[in-house]
Structure 1
């Protein structure tokens, strides 16, 4: 299948080119996001002061915006960075963490969609539904919705926003407005570790930093995280739990190979 060839090529390119991935992200998961980018082979930077974000974004190959821990200062910085990236054709990955939980999150997400025009949007089912104007069931920053009608929602929102839309869950759904890809890799324990969604967005950003095929970059990032989750869980001993699982996610991203992507990926395209 062609998509496996594309994802393996992207992994090789990341390891060879080590793209600089600029993040304005949340302080709960910032360290994990930096380390997951390093584990894959990229180079992370986390600069969020508005006096330097324009300059830093100009140096980057991709920009990841994450609204997990918002404040007025970082919102302004996200807009500056996003507009800079847009002007320079740098891919922008938006992670709308907890959109719909508060007015500030929802307003900020809508502002970013309107003024920045993200290249890729990655969220859980509730977050994507809310961006699509559909009522979503959210608890804090966690999705309480199943994946029903996910394909239709992703297709419509992707077409409407002219962006790649990725919904992560039991079965991941990625759409470019015309085509849809489903990924069945992963494990439910990923939802029991804070930051796995944020790390997934960072992986997507890292792959996006070495290509203009952002649909394949989104698939590669989400597939990599799913495989890392599977392999981390399968390696656990009876006495081990979420702490060991979390550490092994980094190990399995670090040890990811083209052979693993192609041999163990569970991808279906429509």
Structure 2
């Protein structure tokens, strides 16, 4: 199995897809900058009065539940329903799944509204979303991605979604297809918004790739390769964040061809 990582990056930059994000307060700025750097066009819009119109002109919709409120949840549902009607890719980032009863209730309602094209989260979030009784640590994972494969496969079958689990090795599953992406550096876990940006970039690739599995793998590999390249020049969280954004702008198809480490089952 081959994923055209280089071609997908070129396609993304050539079309600069509009990615509609309903995301959390903490990561809005970083996520928008990450999308701009990789070559996409971000919009952050959560008002119920405009989400349906915004998703109608976007290439993909990214739903991130990091900082919840009732009005935002209503906007998420409206946007997801409209995206499903239009056949637009929906990326769901179940931030902190399992942490509170309210968070779990919201995720159940969102999944009932429309099945996501891609679900992307850490190991604990994926286990919680699949119904496992796991102990979470806020929004941080207490479970390795490899230990969440069964839950990811169950979610993929149940909702027909690609499930991308982040970790030391990212695992992406879609039905009977599995990819392992072993790029990245531990420092990426010390910068707020890395996972949220990974979900947004998955949305950018999904907007230009017909195959959502290929989009999810391309996003994971691009994030990981950029993390490795940024770490060459920045060893601490503050400087690394800036170096990572710079690297997203500079990463080339040749970098992906040379440095990506993707295996398939």
Matched, 1:211 2:206: no
- 1:223 match: 221
Per the normalisation by structure 1, the TM-score is: 0.96
Q: Structure 2 matches for 1:25-174, cutoff 5 A?
A: 25-174=23-172
Tell me, what secondary structure is at the counterpart of 1:173?
A: strand
| Alpha carbons 1:37, 1:206 under 8 Å: kept | yes
Secondary structure, in 3 states, of the residue corresponding to 2:221? helix
Q: CA separation in 1, counterparts of 2:140 and 2:128?
A: 13
Question: Any unmatched runs of 5+ in structure 2?
Answer: none
Q: What is the distance in 1 between the residues matched to 2:123 and 2:82?
A: 29
Is 1:248 the counterpart of 2:243 in the alignment? yes
Aligned counterparts of 1:231 and 1:135: Cα–Cα separation in 2? 37
Q: Which residue of 2 aligns with 1:201?
A: 199
In the aligned structure 2, how far is the partner of 1:233 from the partner of 1:134?
35
Residues 209-266 of structure 1 show CA distances to partners (whole Å, capped at 9, x for unaligned) of 1122110100111111111111111223xxx511000111111111111111111001
Q: TM-score, normalised by structure 2?
A: 0.97
For the aligned residue pairs, the C-alpha RMSD in angstroms reads: 1.1
Per the alignment, residue 261 of structure 2 pairs with 266
* CA 1:148–1:15: 2 relative to 1, 3 Å: closer
Alignment check: 8 A CA contact 2:77 2:113 kept: yes
User: Which consecutive unaligned segments of at least 5 residues does structure 1 have?
Assistant: none
Kindly state the Cα deviation for residue 156 of structure 1 after the two structures are TM-superposed: 2.1
User: How many aligned positions are there?
Assistant: 265
SS in 1 for 2:92: strand
Q: Which residue of 1 aligns with 2:2?
A: 2
Cα offsets for 1:118-140 (capped at 9, x unmatched): 11000000000011111223111
Runs of 4 or more consecutive aligned structure 1 residues displaced over 4 Å after TM superposition: none
